[in-house]
Structure 1
Amino acid sequence: PKPAPVVTVKAVPTFTWTTLPATTTLTSVKISVGIRSKSQITATHVYVNGQMYRGIKAVTNDGSDMRIEQTVPLVEGSNIIKVSATNADGTATSERTVVRQTTKPVTATQGKRIALVIGNSAYPAQRLANPQNDAADMAAKLKTLGFEVILLQNGTKRQMDDAINQLGQRAQGYDAAMFYYAGHGIQYKGANYLIPINANMHSASDVEYECTDLGRVLDKLDESGCKMKIIALDACRNNPFERSWYRGSADRGLSAVNAPVGTFISYATSPGSVAADGQNRNSPYTTALLQTLDTPGLSIETVFKRVAASVFTATNRQQTPWYSSSLFQGDFIFNNK
């Protein structure tokens, strides 16, 4: 029999990166890359966004055959950093991406803003005292902060869906778009739904057909291409239909949603919890938000941290607002006066 052929496995260099930040506000970043090779390394290169970087520094004898350490410049936005190494068996490459963020805030004088504000009070099964007031007062406040405002009170499902569509269309080319909702909200099968005043639900399975999916808001804002999307939900009140359902159930409050890129989502209380409607003109959450928006110069994160602290105190630690954020393009300032 013929001897088995000899298979030669090429051993190109391999790379080990010291952890790089995924995002930074700095204009440069230091890379440190270990390179191992079974044969002599004959060439190494560093590329930043396709351009070869000159003057790389090689440090040897640290447990790798070679270690490259170099500070490289970053441009605004996404930066692709690639390292290549060549030995007797060929050339190998490895790359990482670092996003340089801008720190310039979007303010009332710098960007176009629009908001859809909905307040549902007139539920036949259980009327809520405050959402109409909450929506009216929030709409008025946002107008003073430079927002164009679409206001809908006591909306049917058709009216709510149409208003959300309108927000998505009008937000195209805007710097910031906000959706504020006060009224009944519910979670079902892991999704969040906003309850219109004409919802006719006899069992939990009706939720998907009678209510407005919060995902619709997220999708329309994402389609708009708006730079910054803000959602505020004072919608974690109890489920008014549950006692009349003959089968099935939905979970209390709203479920957590991971904010898509460029989105900030605020909830009146923590996931799975129920928020108070309040005994005064406005709910505890909207009261705190209206008051905090009067303070100029606060970033959006600071605004909602202060809201959370105020609500936590006002409700005797019974209600804790919560938010999810994936804002990467600097700070958003509601009040720039």
Structure 2
Amino acid sequence: MLRVVSLALVLIALALPAAAAQRLALVIGNNGYDEVPALLKAVSDAEAVSGTLDDHGFEVITVLDAPRREMNRRISEFTGRLQPGDTALVFFAGHGVEIDGENYLLPTDIVAPTSGDRDFIKGESIALSRLLDRVRTTGARTTIAIIDACRDNPFEASTGRSIGGTRGLGRIAAPEGTFVMFSAGAGQLALDRLSDADTDANSVFTRALLPRLRQPGLELRDLVSDLRVEVRDLARTQNHAQFPAYYDELLGSFYFNPASSAPEEAVAEAPAPTPAPAPQSSIRADFELARGLGTVAAYEAFLARYADQSDDFTVLLAQSLLDELKGTEEVAALPPQTPETPAPAPEAAPDPRAIMRETQAALNALGCSAGGADGVAGPRTRAAFARFLGAQSGTDLTADALGSPAALAALTAEGVKRCPVVAAAPAPSGPTITGTWSYSAKCPLFIRVNGTIRLTQRGSGVFIGPIRDSLGQSGTTTARLNGLSITASNDWGNVTETWRATLTPDGRGYSGSSSSGCTFTANLN
């Protein structure tokens, strides 16, 4: 009974139009710091961003020159207004600091740090990851954070804004459904202005951001791609490196200013507008609901709701599952039939990999040295087959016949000639990790990172080479191999990460964990 009631409620929910989700923004700009250098443009940046977001349908909570208590109060107001399915945006311009791997946003009443104040500063500022976690627990479907706080140490005379032992902010693990953008890359300084003569009211990053927020039909990833290039080129005019970083765990597309439909003609009546496609994340959520129920009625309700998006992959998949489910029910409804003597099953086609394994075994039996019989036609197997062909006379086979039934028949025929003796290759001195490795890592907060490491041996058991990951970061890996045990470090420029792994016996893979809490596996290319 409960399942029937639940199904009825779900079908009603799928059949009705989805409630309009709100777009809510929290915009903070802090200029007037009490004990660290004041800033010039953070408030102007926040006011300009607030106005632009308000023009494009966001409800905006604007916070200017806020001490810690006021920042926390307005953050609570922001998260309290968010509902499941909403879009949440956080913009912060002000001082920021990275301490012990966490990024902190500083209120105006933050005290100037001393050697013993690190833990005190953590408690008196706003941890970015905890702010994003608070937003995530509201059920907001989309969360975007834009942080213009990658500034330099305030005790150094410069045109930037930051506080702490290193310049800029560090990497962040963005939760699922979240897009985080920093005004500069990890460890980089974000310029407040290009020079003392620069009269623009906004920072270098924000002045490039504003026109793109207004541009109709510009998807978020395209916005970021264009923005990064402009900021980089502006910074280069001052011989400075600033390349905004982003961390993308967003589901589907996002537009600050969706493209508007064309205006009506003055005389002719405009055709009825085509319904805008539902957000991809909404389709996925409804599809998972229908698939979880697994009934014909659930799938039919889903397909009726998204009938105008028949080309969408999710809709096509739902139709396929519905057809399969209906076929299963029709078969189950048929009366049992008197069993008939089954016709003999057709002979199965030979398995190509099985033929290759037999071929490799036959080549080895003839002394052709094909290596292990793994069913893969690698270089050694091809070379062995070439030696076999060279030892025969009058054969019509060519190298292309490797792996065919005809080649296997020739290898196992009576009177076939053996391959010439091949000198054994010298035994390897030991395992090695030289080469290019592709790795996949699972990190905290459900973050997945892929990348490559290219290692070259530089001494006894020492390997060094470049590393790149899918977050756009690059650095240098130094690894030491002792038997099958690997100890290594990744130098990312401003952060060093250590890791340990165990090499597989065949030397073509390893797995392990890192000091950042990630677990990973890697394979030799």
Tell me the TM-score normalized by structure 1.
0.63
Q: Which residue of 2 aligns with 1:127?
A: 38
Deviation at residue 237 of structure 1 after TM alignment: 1.1
- Residue of structure 2 equivalent to 1:319: 242
Q: Please tell me whether residue 252 in structure 1 is matched to residue 161 in structure 2.
A: no
Aligned to 1:77: none
Which structure has the greater CA radius of gyration?
A: 2
Query: Which residue pairs with 1:307 in the alignment?
Result: 227
CA contact (8 A) 1:114 1:174 kept: no
Q: Matched residue of 2:214: which SS?
A: coil
CA offset at residue 242 of structure 1? 7.7
Contact 1:113 1:176 in 2 (8 A): yes
Whether 2:80 is the aligned partner of 1:165: answer: no
Return the offset for 1:127: 1.3
1:231 alignment counterpart: 145
Q: Which amino acid aligns with 1:250?
A: G
Q: How far is 1:272 from its partner?
A: 1.1
Alpha-carbon separation, structure 2, partners of 1:127 and 1:263: 31
Do structure 1's residue 269 and structure 2's residue 192 form an aligned pair?
A: no
- Alignment equivalent of 1:335, drawn from 225, 235, 257: 257
Counterparts of 1:146 and 1:170, CA distance in 2: 16
For residues 264-313 of structure 1, the C-alpha deviation after alignment (integer angstroms, 9 at most, x for no partner) is 00000001111111232001111111011121111111111111111111
CA shift, 1:202, in A, is 3.3
> What letter corresponds to residue 285 of structure 1 in structure 2?
F
Q: Which runs of 5+ in 1 are unaligned?
A: 1-105
Preserved CA contact (<8 Å) 2:98 2:164: no
Mapped partners of 2:68, 2:213: distance in 1: 30
Distance 2:50 2:84 in 1: 21
Matching of residue 117 in structure 1 with residue 117 in structure 2: no
Task: Note the C-alpha offset of 1:239.
Answer: 2.8
Going from structure 1 to structure 2, the CA distance change for 1:232 and 1:249 (only over 3 Å counts) comes to closer
Indicate if the aligned counterparts of 1:184 and 1:239 stay in contact, CA closer than 8 A: no
Asked if 1:143 is matched to 2:65, the reply is: no
Q: What is the CA–CA distance in structure 1 between the aligned matches of 2:135 and 2:153, rounded to whole Å? A: 27
Contact 2:50 2:60 in 1 (8 A): yes
State the Cα distance separating 1:111 from its structure 2 match: 3.8
Compute the displacement of 1:209 (Å): 2.0
Q: 1:260 to 1:266 in 2, by over 3 A?
A: same
Residue ranges of structure 2 left out of the alignment (5+ in a row): 1-17, 158-162, 261-525
Instruction: Tell me the distance in 2 between the aligned counterparts of 1:166 and 1:239.
Output: 31
CA positional deviation for 1:168: 1.2
Partner of 1:153: 64
Name the CA shift for 1:287/1:187 in 2 (closer, same or farther; >3 Å): same
Query: Within 2, Cα distance between the matches of 1:159 and 1:238?
Result: 25
Alignment of 1:272-283 (within 5 A): 272-278=187-193, 279=198, 280-283=200-203
2:122 paired with 1:208: yes
Aligned partner (choices 192, 201, 215) of residue 103 of structure 2: 192
Question: What are the residue-to-residue correspondences of 1:27-42 with 2, within 5 Å?
Answer: none
Report deviation, 1:241.
5.3
Which residue in 2 is equivalent to 1:97? none
Task: Choose which of 292, 309, 317 in structure 1 pairs with 2:212.
Answer: 292
Structure 2 match to 1:76: none
Correspondence list, 1:42-57, <5 A: none
Change (3 A) 1:192 1:284: same
Aligned to 2:351: none
The residue number in structure 2 matching 1:240 is 154
CA–CA distance in structure 2, aligned partners of residues 250 and 242 of structure 1: 11
Distance 1:165-1:239 versus aligned 2 partners, 3 A rule: farther
SS of equivalent residue, structure 1 residue 265: strand
CA distance in 1, matches of 2:164, 2:40: 25
Residue 185 of structure 1 aligns with an amino acid whose one-letter code is G
Q: How does 1:46-85 map to 2 (within 5 A)?
A: none
The alignment covers a number of residue pairs equal to 225
Once the two structures are TM-superposed, the CA of residue 240 in structure 1 deviates from its matched residue by 2.0
Residue 306 and residue 209 in structure 1: after superposition, are their counterparts in 2 closer, same or farther (change >3 A)? Answer: same
Change (3 A) 1:171 1:242: farther
Report SS of the residue matched to 1:177. strand
RMSD (CA atoms): 2.1
- Name the one with the larger strand percent: 1
CA contact (8 A) 2:214 2:256 kept: no
Asked if the contact 2:188/2:241 (under 8 Å) is kept, the reply is: no
Question: Quick one: percent identity of the two aligned structures?
Answer: 35
Distance 1:218 1:309 in 2: 27
